[in-house]
Amino acid sequence: MSENDLLDPFLFENMEKVVERIKVAKLKKEKIVIYGDYDVDGISGVAYLVIMLRKLGLNIDYYIPNRVHEGFGINRSTLNFLKRRDTKLFITVDISINSREEIMLLKKNGIDIIVTDHHRQTTICDEMEILTINPKISKSYPNKYLSGAGVAFKVACAIYERFGMSKKILYEYLDIVMIGTVADVVPMVNENRFIIKKGLNNIKKTKIKGLKYIINYLKINPKNITTSDIGFLIAPIFNALGRIDNSKIVVNFFIQEDDFKLISIIEEMKKANKIRRYLENEIYNEIEEKIQRLNRPKYIFMKSRSWHSGVVGVVCSRISIKYNIPVILVSIKNGYGKASCRSIEGINIFDMLKEISTKLERFGGHDLAAGFLVSEKYLFEVERYLRQRLVRKNREDVEKILNVDSWLNIKSINKKKLCDINRLAPFGLDNPEPNFIDTEVEFIGISKFGINNRHFKGFAKKNDRVISVIGYNLGHKLKAKSENERKYRVIYTPIFKSVHSDLYIELRIKDFI
């Protein structure tokens, strides 16, 4: 897919009106504030739109709410920020407005609203005649699976087209959009595939000075960077600030040119990541201890006043993946419960929240990942309802199915064969990495690492071939040293790893028995 194959952004019903409103803002030199969600997708979408619109001479500022102190929605802090800057146009990225009161509050202060989002949402914006760009609700835009940053890219494309500007620069900064797209785990097809492939190519010679620093810090070879490097190494560091501190710093990371300030930002990110890992570990251990006292639960619903709301989502995902069950974790503070929900195929958690939405302050998300805010006075009722719905599903024990593409003897793997496999990249949702299977494989020199020793690394041996291996979230399967001497049937994906300028092959172990 090339730039010429991208869908016309004006297939979105409201795009023409959106561009016209932005034209008016430029003509009148109005202040535009871009407001984004505090996850990586929202942050990267905001950063991209800020950079692209400032290059057109528009008067742009941005605002990312503090996850812990502000949470969802337009609050007093947001409104004060907008009023101090005499804001006339408010553009959201990766987030909608699901409250009539919030819309009325902005309109009362003379602020026009444009919503760009990709989540399933309520009909409030339509009812209040808010200009909305959202592939999930568009009847004419074919690609329903853009990320929030991807939607921001389409908006920028439309603006540049109507302003008569070359789109070349839009593509040169797609590494920012790519990071948000990978982090949000959208299907790796069509426009998303173009964004990711182009972005991965751009990052090798990125125009974003901060990315050069972070890639160097993580010891990633930019020439061989993959979606796995983005999803498992780069995105978590960006996410950490949003979970622990303030995501606005990460937007500044993308647009900052001053080396001294960039180093300071990166140090804050590293510090936040360490705190995030500690807090996550504390909550995870507490929940694991409780799970061990349960008899093979079909779901988990737990709540606490001591949990940091910024990290419960990560723990939620870990527990759900490990046990293959729906998980809802609620952090209670100041009279409200803030929940993270993760589900599994066949159980739509978002629809459950819609059914009880009248009791929720706010909610949002996808079929398998959602969140909500609830007043403590309704928390018991919401908990009881969700427990009943999850019990009624009455699912049999579900074994997680891991598809295998082919048998491949690890003795036969070489760089040429792996290069042929990588022609299918970039990999992700709907274009997964190929999984291969081999038998009679020994693990040698194995060591565990990560929080709770959840990962392992070492070597695989078959006959006279020894090859490096790494297994994420599989540390618990290696329970005793004696097991290292056993021969296994192994499902794996071969990948390239680089040390300095040297390339070598590593097997990413997906499972073994």
**One-letter identity of residue 55:** K
3-state secondary structure of 353: helix
pLDDT-derived band of residue 482, with 50, 70 and 90 as boundaries? very low
How far apart CA 390 and CA 355 sit, in angstroms, is: 13
Q: Which parts of 218-330 fold into alpha helices (H)?
A: 227-229, 235-244, 248-255, 259-291, 312-323
How far apart CA 286 and CA 272 sit, in angstroms, is: 21
- Which pLDDT tens digit goes with each residue over 417-439? 999 999 998 998 889 899 999 99
Residues 6+ apart with CB under 8 A from 343: 320, 326, 327, 349, 367, 368, 369, 370
CATH number assigned to the domain covering 406-512: 2.40.50.460
φ/ψ of 484, rounded to 5, equals -60, -20
Question: Mean pLDDT throughout 108-118?
Answer: 94
Q: Which parts of 55-163 fold into alpha helices (H)?
A: 76-84, 100-108, 124-127, 148-162
- Which pLDDT tens digit goes with each residue over 185-238? 899 889 999 999 999 999 999 999 999 999 999 988 888 899 989 998 999 888
Half-sphere exposure of 493 (CA within 13 A, CB side): 20
At residue 395, the pLDDT reads: 53
How far apart CA 351 and CA 365 sit, in angstroms, is: 10
Structural domain spans, the chain: 3-267, 294-393, 406-512
How far apart CA 235 and CA 12 sit, in angstroms, is: 29
How far apart CA 368 and CA 341 sit, in angstroms, is: 8
The secondary structure of 171-228 as a DSSP string is HHTHHHHHHHHHHTT--SSHHHHHHHHHHHHHGGG-S-HHHHHHHHHTT--GGG--HH
φ/ψ of 346, rounded to 5, equals 100, -10
Of 248, 205, 245, 250, the C-alpha closest to 225 is 205
CATH architecture of 294-393: Roll (3.10)
At residue 86, the pLDDT reads: 97
CATH number assigned to the domain covering 3-267: 3.90.1640.30
- Contact between 457 and 469 under an 8 Å Cβ cutoff? The reply is yes
Residues 6+ apart with CB under 8 A from 315: 280, 283, 284, 287, 329
Residue 313 has pLDDT above 60, yes or no: yes
| Least confident among 48-57, 123-132, 174-183, 296-305 | 123-132
3-state secondary structure of 113: strand
- Which pLDDT tens digit goes with each residue over 487-508? 999 999 999 987 666 788 999 9
Query: 28 is written with which tokens?
Result: 């009148």
Say what percent of the chain tops pLDDT 70: 95
Alpha-carbon radius of gyration of the chain:
24
